[in-house]
Structure 1
């Protein structure tokens, strides 16, 4: 059993506990500091083309990854220090408690019939224009945000923390933050923001599907129908314009028995998205079920990530020698026979 893997696993556990207990820091949040750094760098590097966007993305994500790599190397022989750093990083990048708190505040406002308060709260969950939204549309926006951010704010950071330790935690949060800053469709970021958006898509390919599958598996915990959730997920997940958000939202729609999707109005633009699910539009009561399911998915992802963090170093040590031996065999991956594609014979 690898000491580094155990230290990473202990750090993920401790960081998850800190997020569940304390939530996001109220002042001096490191992610906010990163946002200021990225904003200042954008002013220097911005040009309306993808090459400038790629340089911006590589620099802004590369800096926290480099910091995490140096810190991991410095604590290679100090497992307690490494666990403490991973715990601090995990607490910094997770957002499960904040997500559920904001959703619950929205639920309470809707239950009171206080639409002005609910509309003011929506900006804490997503970027839609709330000025004309009624209760079902505010509830829909909240359920969709809970579904997507269960992956973005909980499952994905835990997954990348298990795979790559502190550099994985910091790199994922940096890429996800950049996507929120410059990855959306607008005249300014149509090309400059594309590299950040694509990087975020790639990093979320596995976590979003994990989130969808865990949502389906745990649907009975909130009186959901697992078979219906599975059916809706298979049918509707690829209809969403995002390759990842649809995985989470379709599973949530099926688990809760509601219909998500429709017309979303942002500030200055609108989108009409396909419907996900077959039921009625969400109500305030569905928000409570969504947050409970989100919490269960987060706990399941924590268990899986801790197991992965412990097991992965041993798997790598077992696989690498096998790959090296295969590469040394004539005709293996490292040796092409004369006349085969790629050998230079063409």
Structure 2
């Protein structure tokens, strides 16, 4: 059923792309903000209680709904699976921006490529070169493929029904919203949300990195995965970026113009500097990793039927 749900979501997404920010990110962000406004008194125990209400409660309620529908008719449970997956994962969350940037760079329209990147990643791109735009685009695509496809899919497989998909999406949004709203060091309210999401994302990060290694340059991907993430600002996401860069044979990270100033970042990957040609290679890497996941789901389905 997981494989058929995934195929259905990919097909629906091609015909009816989802406005993720308006339909998913903003409402769930508002929900996280509402819970925070009711529970945030600065203490760690307040954060635990708030997380249970903001994340655990909706996941449990969704699980009960799935159980009721599946008991009534398995087809209804499958429809719920497809609906939740459609809302919580998908390539269109980043592929549209990425494709437009790639096209602009191929046409030599650097100004448009900068504008598109700024809209996508909500950052200043003034003064960036074509290589810097390509590099940040590849980094964004690799990270987004993990956040919006592979991590959601893994949790969808691990938990019954659509519970895992909602768990990952809500936990990520709650962590980001509460961390942004409570930056002060003395405020421990978001600490539990950060810690729990780190636990939730531990296995998906490594399965995504492993998938990139298997479908790309395995030796370089594993080498970069083992040696480079510790130097990246977001060490966890650095696992995916380092493995992806090594699998592609491209150099990511490094210095980049940020808010009009040069920002030094650690180097990721091996090989040639990123350019528009590597953007197409990154698309191929992500799709090969997706096919690998679908093949594994197919084999798991066969094993379940045989059992």
Query: TM tier, shorter chain?
Result: 0.7 to 0.9
Are residue 204 (structure 1) and residue 201 (structure 2) matched?
yes
Partner of 2:196: helix, strand, or coil? helix
**2:91 — aligned with what?**
96
**1:85 — aligned with what?**
80
Computing the radius of gyration from Cα coordinates, the structure with the larger value is 1
User: Of the candidates 149, 166, 170, which is equivalent to residue 170 of structure 1?
Assistant: 166
Distance 1:150 1:213, change over 3 A: same
Q: Is the 8 A contact 1:115 1:135 kept in 2?
A: yes
**Alpha-carbon distance in 2 for matches of 1:171, 1:188:** 26
**1:228 — aligned with what?**
220
User: Of the candidates 20, 33, 37, which is equivalent to residue 31 of structure 2?
Assistant: 37
**2:107 — aligned with what?**
112
Q: Is the 8 A contact 1:23 1:97 kept in 2?
A: yes
State the shift of 1:90 in Å.
0.8
Gaps of 5+ in 2: none
State the shift of 1:299 in Å.
2.8
State the shift of 1:187 in Å.
3.2
Show CA shifts across 1:193-226 (max 9, x none). 333222222212111111111112112xxxxx43
Partner of 1:260: helix, strand, or coil? strand
State the shift of 1:105 in Å.
1.1
Partner of 1:259: helix, strand, or coil? strand
**Alpha-carbon distance in 2 for matches of 1:9, 1:122:** 33
User: Of the candidates 37, 42, 67, which is equivalent to residue 73 of structure 1?
Assistant: 67
User: Of the candidates 261, 270, 278, which is equivalent to residue 278 of structure 1?
Assistant: 270
Partner of 2:140: helix, strand, or coil? helix
Q: Is the 8 A contact 2:127 2:260 kept in 1?
A: no
Distance 1:283 1:193, change over 3 A: farther
State the shift of 1:118 in Å.
2.2
Q: Is the 8 A contact 2:212 2:243 kept in 1?
A: yes
Partner of 1:204: helix, strand, or coil? helix
Normalized per residue, the structure richer in helix is 2
User: Of the candidates 238, 248, 255, which is equivalent to residue 247 of structure 2?
Assistant: 255
State the shift of 1:294 in Å.
1.2
**2:215 — aligned with what?**
218
**2:144 — aligned with what?**
149
State the shift of 1:88 in Å.
0.7
> TM-score, normalised to structure 1's length?
0.76
Partner of 2:254: helix, strand, or coil? strand
**1:61 — aligned with what?**
55
RMSD, matched Cα: 3.2
Distance 1:83 1:122, change over 3 A: same
Show CA shifts across 1:231-270 (max 9, x none). 3233324433434312211112112222112346767999
Show CA shifts across 1:312-341 (max 9, x none). 8999xxxxxxxxxxxxxxxxxxxxxxxxxx
Which range moves more in the overlay, 128-137 or 199-208?
Answer: 128-137
Q: How does 1:181-192 map to 2 (within 5 A)?
A: 181-183=177-179, 187-188=183-184, 191-192=188-189
**Alpha-carbon distance in 2 for matches of 1:185, 1:239:** 26
Distance 1:26 1:216, change over 3 A: closer
State the shift of 1:122 in Å.
2.0
**Alpha-carbon distance in 2 for matches of 1:29, 1:285:** 33
**Alpha-carbon distance in 2 for matches of 1:268, 1:63:** 44
**Alpha-carbon distance in 1 for matches of 2:7, 2:227:** 35
Are residue 179 (structure 1) and residue 175 (structure 2) matched?
yes
Show CA shifts across 1:123-151 (max 9, x none). 45434432343222222111111111211
**Alpha-carbon distance in 2 for matches of 1:38, 1:185:** 11
Distance 1:303 1:158, change over 3 A: farther
**1:327 — aligned with what?**
none
Are residue 289 (structure 1) and residue 285 (structure 2) matched?
no
